[in-house]
Structure 1
C-alpha cells in the first residue's frame, strides 16, 4: 500500500494557531498522499481507515475547499469527526459552511454528525438545511439509539427534535431508523419523544401540534406511519382532539390516503361535525375503513355520499345505497347517482336503478363465427364446441417470429454488461472467432478488459467466451457448473482455437425453438458436436416440419445423425448420454412426467410443493432442468429453471417455478422464482399452455411479487383471448388453491375478468369449478363469484350444493341465482378457437 506520512499526529497537533500561509505549506505533500491512495489498486489500499481519517483531518487544516473537493467526497467523509471539528474550529476558514454541506451530501447513509454538530454548537456555522442536517441526526440516532443521543447532547431537545417532527429528514426516515436494529427497540426516536412528552422535557401540547403539522407537509405514506404511531402512543384525549379539529381537517386534503384515513378516524373520535365538502377525499379513498368512517361522519348529503359509489367493493356501494334509500334523493344526489351507475357492481346496481326509477338494458357483445374454411381434422384436434384440449396438441405449429442475428456493435455494447445469457452473442463470437480483426474495430474498447475476466472468473457468461477468443485462454469451470456453464466452456475452447462456425443450439425463433430443417443443416456442417450443445439443440426441436426434416437427415453421419433422426421420430437409439436422453424425450420414446402435490404442513415455503419426476438424473440439460424441481436437491434449489432449454415442455419449467413460488405466497420472504423468464414467451399466441403451466399461472396470481402476479394476469388474459386456456384448463390448479390467500387471488382474478366478456366468463366458470377447494376464509372469492354471476345473469352450476352449506352473505346470494351462461359467451369462445385454428392453417 502507498505509505502515508508517518508524522500525521504531530503535524495535526502543530497546526494549532498556525497562520494560513504556514498551514498551506503542508498541503501539497498531503494531497499527493491522498491521490496515491485513490489510484492504488492493491488489496490493502482501503483498509487502514485510522490513518486515512487522520490524513483527512490534516487536509481540513491545510488544504483549500477546492483542493479537498477535487479528491472526492467519499474520501473526505472518512475524516475523524472529533479531531476534524477541533482543527476546523481552530482554523475557521471562510468556506466552512459550504464544506459541511458538501460533506453531509457525500454519504447520506453515514454522514459525519458528530463533526457537524460540534461546529453548529460552537457557532462556527449556522444549522445546515433541514434534509441534510436532520438526516445526519437520524442516522446518528439509528446507530447509537435516540436515548443515548439525548443523554450525550440534551440541547437536541431545544430545536433538533422539534424539527424532526415537522421537517423533511432527508434520505433516512424516522420509521426506518426506529426499526432498523433490534437493539434499538425501546430507545428509538418514537419512544424517546413519548418519554419527553410524558416528563415535560418536550411539552405534550406542542408535540401533538407538531405531529399534525408534520403530517401536513406532503409526507409519503411510509414516513407518515411513524407520526401516526406516535400520536396513538400518546393517546390524545377527546378534548385534545377537539382542540385540533382545524389541523385534522387540513389533513383530509393530504396527498396520501393513510394520512386522510388517520384524519377521518381522529375526527370521528372527536365527535365534532365535519362539513360534507371536507370529506370528499375520504369518500373517494380506496381503503374501505376510510370510506366507512367518512360515511359515518356524513349527515344527509346524497351528492357527497354518491362519491363513495365509485369504490370497487360492492359492500361499500351497498352501504352507500342504504343511506340513499333512507334519505331524500334531491336533484344533485340523483345526478351524482346517475354518474356512478356504470361503475357500480352488478349485485347492487338494481337497487340504484330502482332509486332512479329506471332499468337500463344490458348490451351483449355478439360475434358471428364462420367455420366453413376450417378443416375438419383441425376442428377435431382443437375440440371445437368443447373444452380447450390439453396442450400440446399433436400437429399444432408453434413457430412464431424468427430471431435476428447479433451484430458486432451489439456485442460490443452488450459485453459492457457481462450479466447476460443472450446466446446470439455466443453464436456471433463463434462465427467471427476465425479472425481477431474485430478487436481492431468495433471491439477495440474491450481489449484491455477481457483478459481480466478470463484470469479471475469462472466461465459463466458470454464475456468469458469473448475473452477466450481474444486471449486464446479459457476461463475455468466452477465446481458445480450448470448446463449453461458447460456449454459456454465448450464454446470458449472453440473460440480460443479459432474454430469458426455456428452455435449448434442457437434458437431460430422466439421462445427457444429451433426449426428442424435448420438443425439438420447445422449438424451436417458441424465438424464436431459437443454433448451438452447437441442435447440442448435436440430439446429445442419444434414440432413444425419434423417429417420432411427426418427425410433430409438421412445423410447426417455418425452418432449425432442417429440422435437427430431419433428425435425427429426415426429409429430409437439406446445410449446413456445426455444427448440420447434428450432425443428419446423429444421423440416421446421415453416421455417425462412430473407430479405435483401440496403439503401445507411443510416447515418451509419451499417444502409446500412436492414434485416428483420420472426423467433422467445426472448431467445434461434435461437432467439439470428436472433437478431444480426437487427441493431435496439442496445444491440446486437456488437455481432458477432454464426456461428455454426444452420449450416443448414449458410445463417442466413451470414445475421448477412452482417449487419456488411457495416462498412468494407469503409476505415474510420472497425469492426469484423464474416466472419472469417463463411467462413472457407464453404471451405469444403460438405457445401451448399445458395443465402444469396453468397451475403455475394460477399460483403466481397469489404471489406477493408484482412482476409475477402481473405477468401471470397478462398471460391468462392473452391465452383466453387466443383460445389456449379456459376454465377447465385452469381448474387443474384446484388442489393448489389452499396455498393462495383469497384476498390476493380475488382482485387479480377480477382484473382478468375486466379484460373482456370472454375473460369474465372464464373466471366465473373457474370459480364455479374450484370454489369448494378454496380456503375457509374465501369471502373475497365468493363476492367476486357473485358479482360475475350477477353481471351475466347466470347461476352457479357445479358449486351450487357446496354454496348451500356456507353462511357467507355472498354464498347465500349465489344460491338464489339461476340461469345458464348466455349464448354469446359460447360464440366468443368458439371465435377464440377459430383464431387458433387459423394460426395453425397459416403455418402449414
Structure 2
C-alpha cells in the first residue's frame, strides 16, 4: 500500500503519466488525506484519460483511481455518459477480479447510485459490458463480479434483476443486449422473482435473442403454476415472428396448454396461433396448422395457404379439400445491376459455359456504347466517380475522357477534397489524382497500372485502345483495328487491356482489316484475332493475345517460348482446394484456439500486366473490384481465385468489405464461370453477414438456372467448403434465390457426397424437400436415392429422407 502523497511525488518527479497513477490508485492506503495540493492540471489530465478509456479499453483498473481522487476531494468530474463508459471500461482488470470488487465494496456512492447507470448506457466498439466481458477472463468480468456482490448481499438482488430487464427494454444492439439477458439467467431467478409484466413486454423486442429469453422465463413461470394466462395470450403474437424456430415452437406449445386449461381464451388463442402459419420455418407452420385443425379454424388456414411452405401447403389444401394451386414457383428475376449483353458470348476460340444469348458489339468506328441509364456529360461522370460510383464502363469512359483532354479543372474542388482524405489506395483517390494531375498511389493490378500509365503520358490528346464498346467490358475487334491503325504505338498497359477485351464475334473481318498493322502490336492483334504467330518480344502483350485468341485452350506458340504457366501458354484450369488451419495459444491461465480456412491454389509470380495468371497480389479496396472483374471478360476464374480468400473470410469470422462487390461482379460476368467461381459463390451463400448472403442468392439466380455456372461445379464447391460453411445459412440463402429447380438440382448432387452426420444436414435436406415440391418433383438420381435410403431411426434427417423418397420424381 502507498499514500496519495507518495503518488503525487512520483507524478511530479518522474516521467510517469497520470494514467500510471490511476492504474495504481486502487491499491491506495486509505490513511490520511494528502498533505499538499494536487499537481497542477491534475483534473484536466484525468478528464483526458477518462475520455480516452471511455472509447479504448485499457484492460486495467484505471477508473478505480478516478473514484479515489474524487472521494478524496482532489478532483471533480461531470458524471455524464463518457464517465459511465469509462467506469464500464476500467473499473476492473481484465485478468483479476479483486480491483472491481474492492472498488464497489469501498465506495458507497458507487454502490448506491453510479454503478446502476451501467445498465442505461449501451456503449459501442471496444467499450461495452458485453465486449469487456467477452475478452476478460471468465472470473474477472462484470457478470461474475455483479453475481458475487449479489450473493454476499453487497448489491440488492431484486434491484439487479430489475435493472437487467429494464436494460433489455432499451434499444440496445443484440450483441450488447446479450450481456443483460445472460446475467439475468445466471442469477437464476425463482418463479416468485420473475417480473411477468416486464417479461411480457420483452416479447415485442426487436432483438430475437431477447424475445427468446423472455419466452423461456415465462415458460418457467408456467411450469411453476404462476403464469398470467390472459396477459400471455395478449402478448404472445409478437414472439411468433422470431426467425429461429425454437421460440415460436415453445410459444405454440404454451398456448396449447393454456387452451386446455382455460377454454374461455380459445378464440383469442386461435387468432394468435394463426400467426404461426406466417412464419418462415416449416416446423412452426406444421405445429400451428395442427393446432388450428384441432380447433376447426378453417377460415384462418384458408387465408394463409399461399404463405405456407410447399409441403405444409399441400397438407393444408388436403384438409381444406382444395387444390394447392397457389404453391407456384416464384419467378426468377435478374439481380439488380444486370445489364444487356452480360450473357455468355460464343465465338471462335471460346467455349461458352451454357446459354445462347449474345449481344453484338458496336460496329467499327463507333463511339463506346452508353451504359445503363442516361448519357452523362464529362463533368457528371467525374462527379459520380468522385462520389463513389464504381461502374467499370463509366471508369473506362472517364479514362478515355482524360486521354482525349476532355477533363477540365472545373471539378478540381471536389477532387481536392477526395484527395485530401488520403485514402490513397481507393479508386476515388485515383480518379481525383488524375483530375488534379497528381501521381496516383495504387498499383499492383492492371487497372491501377493503367491509371498510372495514363498519368505519365504526355503530348497531344489520344484515343485509348482498351475503351470497351459494350457495357459488359467487350471491345469490338473491328474497332480495335481501327484505333490501332490511327495510333500504331499504343501505351503498353493499354494494349494489354485491349487485347484481353476482344469480343469473340466478328474476328474474321477484323483480321483481314488488320493485315497492314505495323510492329509487334499489329502482329499481336492479328494473333489474337486468329492470325499467324510471330516472334515474341513483349511477353505480356503476347500472353494477352493468346488468352484472347483461345481463352480456354493451351497455346502452342507460347508453350514453345517457355511461357508455360496457367494463364500464360496454358489454359487456366485450377481445381478448388481449401486448407483448414487451427492455432492454439495460451491466454493467461486459459488455452484458446482459432480456426480458419485458406484457399490452397497454385499461384505464380504474376505481375500487373499478366492479369490472366493467378498470383498473390494485394487485394484492392471494394471500389476497384467491379473493374478488376471486367479485366478479362472471357473468363472469371483468375478474378475468383484471387477473391476466394476474401470470400472465405466473409463466411468465417472476418468482416470482408469486398464480398458484396465480388458477388455483384460474379453475377454479371460475361465469361466462363468455373470451379473457382463456384467456390466464391458457395462461400458467399454461407456468409456471416446478411448483406453478402442476399447478394449471393441473387447471383445464384443469375448464373445457375441458365447454366452459366454448372450446377455440378457448385455442388462440388459446397462439398469442398462443407466443413467451413454453416449449413443453415446455405439453406436460407438457396431458398431466398427463388430458383427452386436449380436449388433442387444442386442439392441433389451435393448431399450424397456429405456424411449423414454432417452438422446442419437436416436444414439442407428440408430445403431440398421444399424446393423439390415447389419445382414439381424430386430430381431422379440413383446416388441421391441410395444415400437417402441409408438413413435409419427417428431423427429429423431420417424422417426427411423418408419423406423425400416418398415424393414423386
Contact 2:430 2:440 in 1 (8 A): no
Give runs of aligned pairs for residues 269-668 of structure 1, distance below 5 A: 269-270=220-221, 271=223, 272-275=226-229, 276-298=233-255, 299-300=258-259, 301-325=269-293, 327-329=294-296, 333-361=297-325, 390-391=352-353, 396-397=358-359, 399=361, 402-403=370-371, 407-408=378-379, 410-411=381-382, 414=385, 422-432=395-405, 438-439=408-409, 441-443=410-412, 461-466=430-435, 469=437, 481-494=444-457, 497-526=458-487, 528-575=489-536, 577-588=539-550, 589=555, 590=569, 592-599=571-578, 609-612=599-602, 618-622=606-610, 624-628=611-615, 633=616, 642-666=628-652, 668=653
Return closer, same or farther for 1:815/1:562 CA change in 2, 3 Å cut-off.
Answer: same
Measured after TM superposition, the shift of residue 318 of structure 1 is: 2.2
- Matches of 2:460 and 2:600, distance apart in 1: 45
Which structure is higher in helix share?
1
Structure 1 unpaired stretches of 5+: 1-8, 14-47, 54-80, 90-99, 368-380, 383-388, 820-844
Give runs of aligned pairs for residues 126-145 of structure 1, distance below 5 A: 128=79, 131-141=81-91
* Deviation per residue, 1:603-659 (Å, 9 max, x gap): 69886543348xx8654533x44233xxxx4x6578998322211112332233235
* Deviation per residue, 1:184-231 (Å, 9 max, x gap): 653332222112101111011221222223323344322221111111
* Deviation per residue, 1:156-205 (Å, 9 max, x gap): 1110112323x2345576434424644x6533322221121011110112
Give runs of aligned pairs for residues 780-791 of structure 1, distance below 5 A: 780-791=763-774
- Matches of 2:408 and 2:504, distance apart in 1: 38
Pair 1:806 & 2:777 matched: no
- Matches of 1:415 and 1:354, distance apart in 2: 59
TM-score, with length taken from structure 2: 0.72
Contact 2:488 2:517 in 1 (8 A): no
- Matches of 2:744 and 2:159, distance apart in 1: 56
Match of 1:4 in 2: none
Contact 1:517 1:545 in 2 (8 A): yes
Return closer, same or farther for 1:692/1:225 CA change in 2, 3 Å cut-off.
Answer: closer
- Matches of 1:366 and 1:192, distance apart in 2: 54
- Matches of 1:238 and 1:455, distance apart in 2: 60
Measured after TM superposition, the shift of residue 810 of structure 1 is: 0.8
Match of 1:743 in 2: 728
Pair 1:158 & 2:109 matched: no
Return closer, same or farther for 1:358/1:557 CA change in 2, 3 Å cut-off.
Answer: closer
Classify the secondary structure of the residue corresponding to 2:722: helix
* Deviation per residue, 1:505-551 (Å, 9 max, x gap): 23333233222222222222326333333222211112232222222
Match of 1:255 in 2: 206
Measured after TM superposition, the shift of residue 815 of structure 1 is: 0.8
Classify the secondary structure of the residue corresponding to 1:621: coil
Match of 1:43 in 2: none
Classify the secondary structure of the residue corresponding to 1:263: helix
- Matches of 1:268 and 1:321, distance apart in 2: 22
Return closer, same or farther for 1:516/1:49 CA change in 2, 3 Å cut-off.
Answer: farther
Match of 2:563 in 1: none
Q: Name the stretch that deviates more: 523-532 or 680-689.
A: 680-689
Measured after TM superposition, the shift of residue 797 of structure 1 is: 1.0
Contact 2:88 2:129 in 1 (8 A): no
Pair 1:766 & 2:746 matched: yes
Match of 1:36 in 2: none
Pair 1:709 & 2:696 matched: no
Measured after TM superposition, the shift of residue 558 of structure 1 is: 0.9
- Matches of 2:734 and 2:425, distance apart in 1: 49
Measured after TM superposition, the shift of residue 133 of structure 1 is: 4.3
- Matches of 2:423 and 2:141, distance apart in 1: 49
Match of 1:30 in 2: none
Classify the secondary structure of the residue corresponding to 1:491: helix
Match of 1:226 in 2: 179
- Matches of 1:161 and 1:455, distance apart in 2: 45
- Matches of 2:192 and 2:289, distance apart in 1: 34
Contact 1:554 1:565 in 2 (8 A): yes
- Matches of 2:428 and 2:271, distance apart in 1: 68
- Matches of 2:776 and 2:471, distance apart in 1: 42
- Matches of 2:789 and 2:90, distance apart in 1: 61
Q: Name the stretch that deviates more: 344-353 or 308-317.
A: 344-353
Q: Name the stretch that deviates more: 683-692 or 566-575.
A: 683-692
Measured after TM superposition, the shift of residue 490 of structure 1 is: 2.8
- Matches of 1:529 and 1:423, distance apart in 2: 16
Classify the secondary structure of the residue corresponding to 1:555: coil
* Deviation per residue, 1:579-607 (Å, 9 max, x gap): 01111121124451222143555669886
RMSD over aligned Cα atoms = 4.7
* Deviation per residue, 1:814-839 (Å, 9 max, x gap): 111114xxxxxxxxxxxxxxxxxxxx
Measured after TM superposition, the shift of residue 442 of structure 1 is: 4.3
- Matches of 1:597 and 1:364, distance apart in 2: 36
Pair 1:795 & 2:757 matched: no
- Matches of 1:476 and 1:318, distance apart in 2: 59
Q: Name the stretch that deviates more: 643-652 or 269-278.
A: 269-278
* Deviation per residue, 1:785-811 (Å, 9 max, x gap): 111233344234112222111232111
Measured after TM superposition, the shift of residue 446 of structure 1 is: 6.2
Contact 1:661 1:699 in 2 (8 A): yes
- Matches of 2:489 and 2:750, distance apart in 1: 53
- Matches of 1:812 and 1:730, distance apart in 2: 26
Return closer, same or farther for 1:463/1:420 CA change in 2, 3 Å cut-off.
Answer: farther
TM-score, with length taken from structure 1: 0.69
Contact 1:600 1:608 in 2 (8 A): yes
RCO greater where, 1 or 2, for CA within 8 Å and sep 6 or more?
A: 2
Return closer, same or farther for 1:451/1:711 CA change in 2, 3 Å cut-off.
Answer: closer
Classify the secondary structure of the residue corresponding to 1:818: coil
Classify the secondary structure of the residue corresponding to 1:347: helix
Contact 1:596 1:610 in 2 (8 A): no
Measured after TM superposition, the shift of residue 749 of structure 1 is: 0.8
Return closer, same or farther for 1:103/1:191 CA change in 2, 3 Å cut-off.
Answer: closer
Classify the secondary structure of the residue corresponding to 2:613: helix
- Matches of 1:704 and 1:448, distance apart in 2: 35
* Deviation per residue, 1:6-38 (Å, 9 max, x gap): xxx9xxx9xxxxxxxxxxxxxxxxxxxxxxxxx
Larger of the two Rg values belongs to structure = 1
- Matches of 2:76 and 2:572, distance apart in 1: 74
Equivalent pairs counted in the alignment come to 683
Match of 1:109 in 2: 55
Return closer, same or farther for 1:274/1:572 CA change in 2, 3 Å cut-off.
Answer: farther
Contact 2:778 2:804 in 1 (8 A): yes
Match of 2:218 in 1: 267
